Structure 1
Amino acid sequence: MSGIKQLAGQTLWYGGSSIAARFLNYLLTPYLTATLSGVAYGEMSLVYALIPFLNIIFTYGLETAFFRFASDKERGSSVYDTATISLIVSTAVLTTLLVLFNDFFAGLIGLQEHPEYFTWAAFIIAFDALSSLAFAKLRFDGRPIKFAMVRIVGILVNIGAVVFFLSVCPKIAEKDPEGFIGTFYDPNIGVGYVILANLIQAVLTFLLLAKEFFSFRLRFNATLWKEIIIYSAPLILAGFAGMINETFDRMMLRWWSPAATEEAAKFEVGVYSACYKLSILITLFIQAFRMGAEPFFFKQAQGQAPQKVYARVMKFFVITISLMFLVVALFLDVWKYFIQNPEQWEGLRVVPILLLANMFLGIYYNLSIWYKVTNKTSAGARITFIGAGITLLINFLFIPTYSYVACAWATFFCYGSMMVVSYIWGQRAYPVPYATKKLVAFMVIALALYGIHAAFQLLELNVWINHAFGLLLLGLYTLFIVNVERKEFARLPVVGRFISA
């Protein structure tokens, strides 16, 4: 169980700080949905749908490759030097190209009237890319306090800048149009101020990581660099295809939406993006898990019987996300107030679908360890391309009829197929003794309880009765899990004190 304790500790520090940072960032959603129009929120979503694609290109798998090669004691010291020099050169070249062709990219996402949005986004991507290896170094060196501090401070600055630009500046400019703020504040920039606030965050984060970033030496190992690129190249393809699965549906929704006008299409993008964020709990937990799990898995691979550890990790992971699914799905009428624009509540019907899809994605991340520790990263690229193909096909066929509902189902089938293919392929190449039948049963029972609650709501009883019934179902599921896995829970460091084996 020491492996589980180690992973829990890493997830608590690195993942916990990421949860805190992202949760603070998600708190902007109620504010932005209340402050921005539905169309403006859709425009912002389009910009942030393209950024992850470019992040994949800018970082080209160097973070995962760093964990992989830094574990080699003979060459570990030169891995950071080589990777950082490579990252600096590539970032400079790519940023220059994006700025020169900002008109093209702005037009690609339907914001041809605001090419400056894309220029600012390009610099956000650049500073984020340069910070990525410094963050990875903090994780690998076991320095969680600074890691957490930088992440959270950056998000707090971002939130403060957004509120300042969107709420404080307009009032100051109105009262004193000739003053400093009144002179420089331009209401026509609109949602662009959200992007500028993100740019301020990215620059500050880089400055806070300057000591780690500039700790590299001007020593470039060409042979090592080739090995890193060979290892990471499939991860670039996998990441790129993964972004098609994760964010590209926003752009496809704008292109193929059945809405009558461009403005209406952007509004639908805003509805879907806002409702997508209601899968916040599962998304945040997956993010936290990934932050702690990636270096943990590689270190475990060098120990004895790592497969047993991976199987136990999977069990606790599925139990956690199943509970999170019920917490959100059973109380969706409460979570909807996270979206402050009631016009966007029309998309709530897709939230349970997206919750299940993200459960599949989290399980896939667990399963993906087989091709990472065996250096078969090309398998990850193939699996992700299968998912990308499913995403593109379903969206192309059904968005013109079903709008963002098609996007939700495309996400569901995409991640579901990736999970199944990775499991089957992985069990052949790197067998792990997962408790497959039991884990499937846990998820099916959680889904059945949601169905029972949905049917109960058709009785149209008092909202408090519905909530009480939801709590009852959640409590019954928790007791069921604890009873089935009593021995496992009894071995946990804190929870085990209250559970008898």
Structure 2
Amino acid sequence: MNLYKKLAIQTIIYSIGFIFPRIINYVFLKFFTAFFKREEFSLYTDMYALSFILIGFLSFGLENTYFRFLYKKNYNKEIVFSTIVIIQLLISSFFLIVSMILIKYISYIAGYQEHPEYFFMFFLIIFFDTICSLPMAWLRANNKPLHYSTINIINTLTQSLMITYLFFFCENVHIKKNSFFFIKWFSSFTDKIGYIFFANVISSLGNLFLILPIILKKVTIKKFNKTLAMSMLNYGIPIMLGTIAFSINENLDKILIKRWMSDDVNGSYSACYKIATFMNFYIRIFRLGIEPFFFKKSGDSNAMDYYEEIIYVFILFGLVFYVMVCGNINIFMKFLIDKKYHSAVSIIPVIMMGNLFLGVYTNLSIFYKIIDKPIIGTYISLIGVLITFLFNVIFIIMPNNSFMIPAWGTLISYGSMLVVLYIWGKKKFFKFCNKKIKNIIMHFLFALFIVFVTEKKMKFGLLLQFLYLIIIFFSEKKRLIYLIK
């Protein structure tokens, strides 16, 4: 029980550090969708979509690799951390040098030849963020949720204040004599969209300074182990390929809609997609508190039973979250994005369910990580990418070019990955009894039914959701009471 209490406290602290930045982001989402035209908002989301694919490559799966090697008994923790951070520094530095040399060609190929400064700023963001990822993982691994959350909150406040200053107090700054030099320089070569990216550069740089003491104190070249480094890369590269596959699944639709339909349509699609990523709130909070704990429990005799119970509870609460959001989607739309972006609201329930499938897949994937077989995840991720490509090809060649096609592609891609992983793991790892599987399927069908009926009968929506919560509580009463205790 002490383990549960410790886990709950840590998860709450991690949640604060995760939720606060996301709340601020959604406040700015309302502002951006009101301030920018849809085609301008499309440029903003497209740059982040392209950058996420690059980050997936640069990560090299090193965060998961760090957690795995950290809890192996035959490795010294300090040597593990020094080795993996040095690997990340070398990869990130090489990327930054090469990308800056080729910046004109890259911006031209991506269709941003008039704004190479976008890529200049994003290369810096990617460089800073990848360097920070492992020290932030070190904080999680060493049970420092308060330190972790404080850094996240400071980072968010820095970016928010910078955006606020640039948008509201920096008008015509280039003609003000008393303006800071770097603000004059900055405002001379970019636009309002670039202001957001510049604020991100400043916050990412600030984040680097905040975690720098960890690097300086814990990382030394003397502790770098070449043999360990090769083992880490061999373990991490398959995870990296899976991460790239995930990035493609998440962002290919927005990249193609912009280029095959219009910025106008992509603006609406991207804004509604951000509402659908509410599910990632839940998934990320769960992972922050639970994932390091998973690896710690991997050597216990009852580890498998523990994993299965946690995954069952994850699915249960994930479906409750899905019903609460999709059942009140009009309220969320009204408060979070401007009316001119509402034309793509139909993608939200589809993308949210796809994200829930991804969350379940992520939790089940722990089995191939703790048996040192990350290549399994690579194979399954490639299946997901092929499905995503298939749906996006259909989207391109279909005469009506409906944006619902890539949305359904996301759902089916993640659903297929989950089914394949379950079938694979069932043979060698999982022991889910038939009763649990039947219960999970019933919970899924019941949640979908409630959302469907709520959408058709909006007047009774709140009553249906209330009844849904009561039924869930009584059907899972023993499990929920035990979890609360």
Q: Same fold (TM over 0.5)?
A: yes
Q: Distance in 1 between matches of 2:100 and 2:419?
A: 41
In the alignment, the residues of structure 2 paired with residue 187 and residue 120 of structure 1 have an alpha-carbon distance, to the nearest angstrom, of 12
1:455 deviates by 2.2
User: Which residue pairs with 1:141 in the alignment?
Assistant: 142
Q: CA offset at residue 113 of structure 1? A: 1.2
Q: Offset at 1:106? A: 2.1
Q: 2:388 aligns with which of 388, 391, 399?
A: 391
Residues 55-95 of structure 1 deviation map (CA, whole Å, 9 limit, x = unaligned)? 12222111111111111244222001111111111111111
Cα deviation, residue 103, structure 1: 2.3
For residue 150 of structure 1, what is the aligned residue in structure 2? 151
Q: Is the 8 A contact 2:42 2:258 kept in 1?
A: no
Paired position in structure 2 for 1:381: 378
C-alpha RMSD of the superposition: 1.9
What is the match of residue 316 of structure 2?
319
Percent identical among aligned pairs is 29
Q: Report the Cα distance in structure 1 between the residues aligned to 2:442 and 2:97, rounded to whole angstroms.
A: 52
Change (3 A) 1:234 1:213: same
- CA 477–142 in structure 1, closer or farther in 2 if over 3 Å, else same: same
Closer, same or farther: CA 97–338 of 1 in aligned 2, 3 Å: farther
Q: Indicate the residue corresponding to 1:194 in structure 2.
A: 196
| Higher mean C-alpha displacement, 28-37 vs 3-12 | 3-12
The farther-off stretch of 105-114 and 299-308 is 105-114
Q: Which residue of 2 aligns with 1:99?
A: 100
Contact 1:361 1:415 in 2 (8 A): yes
CA contact (8 A) 1:131 1:213 kept: no
Aligned residue for 1:428? 427
Give the alignment's TM-score, normalised by structure 1.
Answer: 0.91
Partner amino acid, structure 2, of 1:298: F
Distance 1:388 1:2, change over 3 A: farther
1:135-159 Cα shifts (integer Å, max 9, x gaps): 0111111111110100011011111
C-alpha distance in structure 1 between counterparts of 2:244 and 2:105, whole Å: 20
Which residue does the alignment assign to 1:341? 338
1:159-174 superposed matches below 5 A = 159-170=160-171, 173=173
SS at match of 1:247: helix
Equivalent residue number for residue 49 of structure 2: 49
Partner of 2:219: 216
Q: Does 1:229 align with 2:226?
A: no
Where in structure 1 are there 5+ consecutive unaligned residues?
258-264, 458-465, 497-501
- How far apart, CA to CA, are the structure 2 residues paired with 1:318 and 1:278? 20
- Does structure 2 retain, via aligned residues, the 8 Å contact 1:123–1:199? yes
Letter in 2 for 1:117: Y
Q: How far is the alpha carbon of 1:416 from its aligned partner?
A: 0.7
- Whether the 8 Å contact between 2:115 and 2:190 is mirrored in structure 1 is no
Aligned to 1:203: 205
Aligned to 1:115: 116
1:67, 1:295 within 8 Å by CA — same for their partners in 2? yes
Question: Which residue is equivalent to 2:444?
Answer: 443
Does the 8 Å contact 2:159/2:203 carry over to 1?
yes
The aligned counterpart of 1:251 is 255
Query: Deviation of residue 423 (structure 1)?
Result: 0.9
CA contact (8 A) 1:19 1:287 kept: no
Cross-structure match for 1:461: none
Tell me the CA shift for residue 280 of structure 1. Answer: 4.0
Distance 1:202 1:78 in 2: 26
Q: Could you tell me how far apart the structure 1 residues matched to 2:432 and 2:51 are?
A: 38
Residues in 1 aligned to 2:287 and 2:136: alpha-carbon distance in whole angstroms = 14
Amino acid at match of 1:356: M
Contact 1:395 1:410 in 2 (8 A): yes
How far apart, CA to CA, are the structure 1 residues paired with 2:407 and 2:5?
35
Give, as a single letter, the amino acid of the residue that structure 1 aligns with 2:251.
T
Shift of 1:364: 0.8
Partner residue, 1:262: none
**Could you tell me how far apart the structure 2 residues matched to 1:145 and 1:2 are?**
19
* CA–CA distance in structure 2, aligned partners of residues 411 and 3 of structure 1: 36
Equivalent pairs counted in the alignment come to 475
Q: Normalising by structure 2, report the TM-score.
A: 0.94
Structure 1 residues 45-84: aligned runs within 5 Å: 45-75=45-75, 76-84=77-85
Structure 2 residue 473 is the aligned partner of structure 1 residue 482? yes
User: How far off its partner does 1:293 sit?
Assistant: 2.2
Contact 1:29 1:338 (8 Å CA) reproduced: no
2:417 maps to 1:418 = yes
Letter of the 1:346 counterpart = S
Deviations 1:424-469 (A, max 9, x none): 1111121242622111211110100111122224xxxxxxxx2xx2
Kindly provide the amino acid, as one letter, of the partner of residue 133 in structure 1.
L
Cα distance in 2 between the residues matched to 1:235 and 1:7 = 26
> Which letter maps to 1:413?
I
